[in-house]
Amino acid sequence: MVMRGGWILLNNGCIIRRISDRIRTGARWYASLPKLTPEEVTRILRTNEFTQEFEGGQPIKYYDSNQLASNNPLEDARAEGRCRLTNGLLFGIFDGHGGNSCAQVVSKRLLHYISACLLPQEILLDTLKESKTPEQLRDHLLESFHNKTEFVPEIGELYGESFLSFLSKVSQKDGDNGGIESDMETAFLSLDNDISDEALRKVKRQIDARTLSVAMSGAVAVVAHVDGPHLHVAGVGDCQAVLGVYSEDEGWSAKLLTVEHNTDNREEVERILSEHPENESRTVIKMDRLLGQLAPLRALGDFRYKWSKELMKKIVVPYYGDGAVPPNYHTPPYLTAKPQVMYHRLTPKDKFLIIATDGLWDLLSPLEAVQLVGEHMRGKLTLSSWKPPTSNMKLSEINGMLQERKEGLKKKPLDDNAATHLLRNALGGTDHGIDHAKVSQFLTLPNEVVRIFRDDITITIGYTDTEFLSHCSS
């Protein structure tokens, strides 16, 4: 593969070009790619889809999720769960870099840390007195959904020890610690600190390579906590959370609930510069990256930007070589896992929450994503059986229902799962509908170039219960 002025010459002689993260050719699409049938495209897109419904009396009725890999293995991860001892629901999206280790580990652990931090002190102390194993404690605190992987025994035991130590520390907190915002911040920073400690304290044992690889790779994340009408979103890096809001007068709008931590965020750049000597002002941020290397300016893991230079030379260099120490590495830490937490009180106008990795936002704007999910909501009505009107309904109300269903038929979605619907439109959406050839080409890009044109994509969409929120508002 050769780069020539914005054009890419592949080994097979074909020429493609990247424009706004879309694939184009000089006069046509990259025609030599294998063609997939519509059935094959659908099978690929639906491989990782998942839906979880909740019983009534919850702020969230159900959620849809899906993932599409670009990297091999997939570097994204996701996790969802219900806090058993409180009323909260948790939804997390994690985007790994430098490998998939950190994202996978964080996705398996962070929600448990958050669920513990959210507990009143007396309840947490009573829980610890019951002498449960770490695994029993995790199950006691959080009901996880669609959790298909487990840690190997040695690693699981190590993480269990860390979790017990963490719970002991949290149970000693004094009184009111600042609310949910502070709780989520504590959870992020505590897990990040444990990842560091696990790598450093195991350097003399056989499993050190595994814990060290987690610490040396990194992950950005966004986690949403919903309890009644109260929504808190904690984020580090460039995953995004977007609220789909509907008004009869204005239609759909997108409310951003995250801040991207990259060099486009001037406040974030100024924060980092203020934490280091003035003589480093030209090296801390270089080529729009931290120390000229890392794009996100906040992340879990990535301890090559956090540990002291002495630790790096002692612990990291023997495994990864001198190149593991970034250039101009003088006054670490340069990176933090401290999340920014935003609060929003949900109203009946707030219809759904989309959280996704940047692989989706490279292809769709927040408003485009909200409009697509909104159209899917209307079109999905046509996928369900028609329910006859109740006897006390007025003719005008019945007519309104029929008209809504008629409009929905015009936009009947191919996919029942809204996350799959977003994937399909992100890859093949046009002003005139889905371009099957375009989706097929995106899905059959050769491994040598696929990352140039699309990243891993992970999406979770949680649908609010309008009736529940109406009662909260009243």
Q: How confident is the model at residue 202 (pLDDT cuts 50, 70, 90)?
A: low
Residue 330 has a CB neighbour count (10 Å cut-off) of 13
Chain centroid to CA 285: how far?
25
Q: How many whole angstroms separate alpha carbon 352 and alpha carbon 376?
A: 12
The boundaries of the domain holding residue 103 are: 29-261+335-471
The 10s digit of each residue's pLDDT in 55-64 is 888 999 999 9
Neighbours of 145 (CB within 10 A): 17
- Residue 340 in this model has a pLDDT that exceeds 90: yes
**pLDDT for 40-98, tens place per residue?**
999 999 999 999 999 888 999 999 999 999 999 999 999 999 999 998 999 999 999 99
User: pLDDT grade, residue 205 (50/70/90)?
Assistant: low
The reply to whether 322 falls in a domain is no
CA 380/CA 373 separation, integer angstroms: 10
Domain with residue 346: its CATH number is: 3.60.40.10
CA dist 17 and 24 (Å) reads: 6
More confident of the two residues 452 and 399: 452
Whether residue 292 lies inside any domain: the answer is no
131: its two tokens: 């002498």
pLDDT of res. 13: 34
* Average pLDDT of the segment spanning 329-334: 98
Closest CA to 222 of 58, 360, 39, 421: 360
Region 467-473: mean pLDDT is 89
Identify which has the larger pLDDT, 433 or 9.
433
**Cβ contacts of residue 143 below 8 Å, gap of 6+?**
81, 82, 84
Write 407-413 long-range contacts (CB < 8 A, 24+).
Answer: 407/378, 408/378, 408/379, 408/380, 408/381, 408/382, 409/379, 409/382, 410/379, 411/375, 411/378, 411/379, 412/379, 412/382, 412/383, 413/375, 413/376, 413/379, 413/380, 413/383
Tokens linked to 257: 């609930």
Average pLDDT over residues 381-386: 53
Res. 348: pLDDT tops 80: yes
User: For residue 201, what pLDDT is reported?
Assistant: 81
Q: What is the pLDDT of residue 40?
A: 97
Terminal Cα distance for the chain, rounded: 62
CA distances (Å), origin 454, targets 70, 101, 344, 358: 7, 21, 31, 10
Residue 118 domain flag: yes
Is the pLDDT confidence value at 206 over 80? no
| 396: in domain | yes
Q: What is the pLDDT of residue 173?
A: 77
Give the rounded percent of residues in the chain with a pLDDT score beyond 70.
86
CA atoms within 13 A on the CB side of 426: 34
- Confidence category of residue 235, pLDDT binned at 50, 70, 90: very high
Task: Tell me, yes or no, whether 17 lies in a domain.
Answer: no
Residue labelled with tokens 């990352």: 451
**What per-residue confidence (pLDDT) applies to 18?**
39
Give the tens place of pLDDT for each residue, 93-132. 999 999 999 999 999 999 999 999 999 989 999 999 887 8
Is residue 126 situated within a structural domain?
yes
pLDDT band (50, 70, 90) for residue 411: low
Write down the mean pLDDT value for the chain: 88
3-state secondary structure of 152: coil
SS3 content of the chain, % helix, strand, coil (to 5): 40, 25, 35
Number of domains, the chain: 1
- The pLDDT > 90 percentage for the chain reads 73
| pLDDT given at position 5 | 38
Contacts of 156 (CB under 8 A, 6+ apart): 135, 150
390: pLDDT strictly greater than 90: no
- At residue 385, does pLDDT exceed 70? no
The three-state DSSP-derived secondary structure of 193-210 is HHHHHHHHHCCCCCCHHH
Residue 465 has pLDDT above 80, yes or no: yes
What pLDDT score was predicted for residue 228? 96
- CA atoms of 54 and 340, how far apart (whole Å): 28
Q: Is the pLDDT of residue 9 over 60?
A: no
pTM: 0.88
- Is 218 a domain residue? yes
pLDDT tops 60 at residue 247: yes
Give the per-residue pLDDT at 332.
Answer: 98
Asked if 449 and 16 touch (Cβ cutoff 8 Å), the reply is yes
The pLDDT tens digits for 140-157 are 999 999 887 888 888 999
- Does residue 93 lie in a domain region? yes
